[in-house]
Amino acid sequence: MLKQLTKAEEQIMQVLWKLDKAFLREIIDGLLEPKPHNNTVATVIKILTEKEFIGVTVFGRMHQYYPLIDKDAYSKATMKTFVKGYFEGNFSNAVSFMVKENNLSINDLELLLKELKKK
Protein backbone atom coordinates (compact mmCIF):
# COMPACT_ATOMS: atom_id res chain seq x y z
CA MET A 1 0.00 0.00 0.00
CA LEU A 2 1.30 3.44 -0.94
CA LYS A 3 2.03 5.97 1.75
CA GLN A 4 -0.10 9.11 1.78
CA LEU A 5 1.55 12.30 0.61
CA THR A 6 1.38 15.55 2.52
CA LYS A 7 0.08 18.59 0.64
CA ALA A 8 3.63 19.87 0.04
CA GLU A 9 4.81 16.45 -1.15
CA GLU A 10 1.86 16.12 -3.49
CA GLN A 11 2.52 19.56 -5.01
CA ILE A 12 6.08 18.52 -5.84
CA MET A 13 4.92 15.17 -7.22
CA GLN A 14 2.38 16.96 -9.44
CA VAL A 15 5.24 18.98 -10.95
CA LEU A 16 7.40 15.87 -11.44
CA TRP A 17 4.54 13.89 -12.99
CA LYS A 18 4.04 16.76 -15.42
CA LEU A 19 7.75 17.20 -16.27
CA ASP A 20 8.80 13.52 -16.00
CA LYS A 21 12.36 14.54 -14.98
CA ALA A 22 13.54 17.77 -13.40
CA PHE A 23 16.31 19.51 -11.53
CA LEU A 24 15.55 21.42 -8.30
CA ARG A 25 15.22 24.77 -10.14
CA GLU A 26 12.74 23.30 -12.64
CA ILE A 27 10.64 21.84 -9.82
CA ILE A 28 10.55 25.19 -8.02
CA ASP A 29 9.64 26.96 -11.28
CA GLY A 30 6.74 24.53 -11.71
CA LEU A 31 5.25 25.28 -8.27
CA LEU A 32 2.51 27.85 -7.77
CA GLU A 33 3.07 31.24 -6.17
CA PRO A 34 4.04 31.93 -3.47
CA LYS A 35 6.96 29.62 -4.19
CA PRO A 36 8.54 27.91 -1.18
CA HIS A 37 12.20 28.50 -0.35
CA ASN A 38 14.78 26.33 -2.17
CA ASN A 39 15.78 24.62 1.10
CA THR A 40 12.15 23.73 1.84
CA VAL A 41 11.70 22.14 -1.58
CA ALA A 42 15.02 20.30 -1.24
CA THR A 43 13.94 18.93 2.16
CA VAL A 44 10.58 17.73 0.77
CA ILE A 45 12.38 16.12 -2.18
CA LYS A 46 14.71 14.34 0.26
CA ILE A 47 11.68 13.00 2.15
CA LEU A 48 10.03 11.87 -1.11
CA THR A 49 13.26 10.09 -2.04
CA GLU A 50 13.30 8.31 1.34
CA LYS A 51 9.62 7.35 0.87
CA GLU A 52 10.64 5.95 -2.55
CA PHE A 53 8.33 8.23 -4.53
CA ILE A 54 11.27 9.93 -6.28
CA GLY A 55 14.46 8.59 -7.84
CA VAL A 56 17.65 10.59 -8.42
CA THR A 57 20.21 10.70 -11.22
CA VAL A 58 23.43 12.50 -10.25
CA PHE A 59 25.32 14.62 -12.77
CA GLY A 60 28.38 15.86 -10.87
CA ARG A 61 26.94 18.26 -8.32
CA MET A 62 23.50 18.40 -9.99
CA HIS A 63 20.64 16.06 -9.10
CA GLN A 64 17.88 15.26 -11.53
CA TYR A 65 14.72 13.85 -9.99
CA TYR A 66 12.09 11.58 -11.53
CA PRO A 67 8.94 9.91 -10.20
CA LEU A 68 9.16 6.25 -9.17
CA ILE A 69 5.39 6.02 -8.67
CA ASP A 70 3.15 6.88 -11.57
CA LYS A 71 0.29 9.33 -11.10
CA ASP A 72 -2.44 6.82 -11.98
CA ALA A 73 -1.21 4.28 -9.43
CA TYR A 74 -1.08 6.95 -6.73
CA SER A 75 -4.51 8.33 -7.68
CA LYS A 76 -6.04 4.87 -7.57
CA ALA A 77 -4.56 4.09 -4.14
CA THR A 78 -5.57 7.49 -2.77
CA MET A 79 -9.12 7.15 -4.05
CA LYS A 80 -9.48 3.69 -2.50
CA THR A 81 -8.20 5.01 0.84
CA PHE A 82 -10.55 8.01 0.64
CA VAL A 83 -13.62 5.89 -0.15
CA LYS A 84 -12.66 3.39 2.56
CA GLY A 85 -12.22 6.16 5.14
CA TYR A 86 -15.27 8.26 4.34
CA PHE A 87 -17.75 5.97 2.59
CA GLU A 88 -17.18 2.60 4.30
CA GLY A 89 -15.36 1.34 1.21
CA ASN A 90 -18.46 1.70 -0.93
CA PHE A 91 -17.92 3.59 -4.19
CA SER A 92 -21.70 3.77 -4.74
CA ASN A 93 -21.98 5.79 -1.53
CA ALA A 94 -19.25 8.12 -2.76
CA VAL A 95 -20.99 8.66 -6.11
CA SER A 96 -24.36 9.17 -4.37
CA PHE A 97 -22.78 11.78 -2.12
CA MET A 98 -21.35 13.64 -5.12
CA VAL A 99 -24.70 13.57 -6.90
CA LYS A 100 -26.47 14.92 -3.78
CA GLU A 101 -23.89 17.69 -3.48
CA ASN A 102 -24.40 18.58 -7.17
CA ASN A 103 -20.78 17.75 -7.93
CA LEU A 104 -21.75 15.26 -10.65
CA SER A 105 -23.84 16.17 -13.65
CA ILE A 106 -25.88 13.84 -15.83
CA ASN A 107 -23.03 13.97 -18.37
CA ASP A 108 -20.55 12.93 -15.66
CA LEU A 109 -22.76 10.00 -14.69
CA GLU A 110 -23.13 8.94 -18.34
CA LEU A 111 -19.33 9.00 -18.73
CA LEU A 112 -19.02 6.87 -15.58
CA LEU A 113 -21.52 4.38 -16.96
CA LYS A 114 -19.60 4.16 -20.25
CA GLU A 115 -16.38 3.48 -18.35
CA LEU A 116 -18.07 0.82 -16.25
CA LYS A 117 -19.50 -0.85 -19.34
CA LYS A 118 -16.02 -1.00 -20.92
CA LYS A 119 -14.86 -3.11 -17.97
Average confidence (pLDDT) per 10 residues, the chain, 119 residues: 85 96 96 92 96 95 96 85 80 78 76 75
Torsion (CA) 115, 111, 4, 30 in degrees, nearest 10: 120
Residue 59, helix vs strand vs coil: strand
**Model pLDDT, residue 119:** 67
What is the CATH number assigned to the segment(s) 71-118? 1.10.4040
Cα 103 to Cα 3: distance, rounded to the nearest angstrom: 27
**Model pLDDT, residue 1:** 61
Q: Residue ranges of the domains in the chain?
A: 7-67, 71-118
**Model pLDDT, residue 60:** 94
Query: Quick check: do 7-67 and 71-118 share a fold?
Result: no
Exposure string of 25-34, with b = 16+ CB inside 10 Å and e = fewer, is eebbebeeee
**Model pLDDT, residue 99:** 76
What is the CATH number assigned to the segment(s) 7-67? 1.10.10.10
67 cis-preceded (ω within 30 degrees of 0): no
Cα 3 to Cα 87: distance, rounded to the nearest angstrom: 20
**Model pLDDT, residue 108:** 78
**Model pLDDT, residue 14:** 95
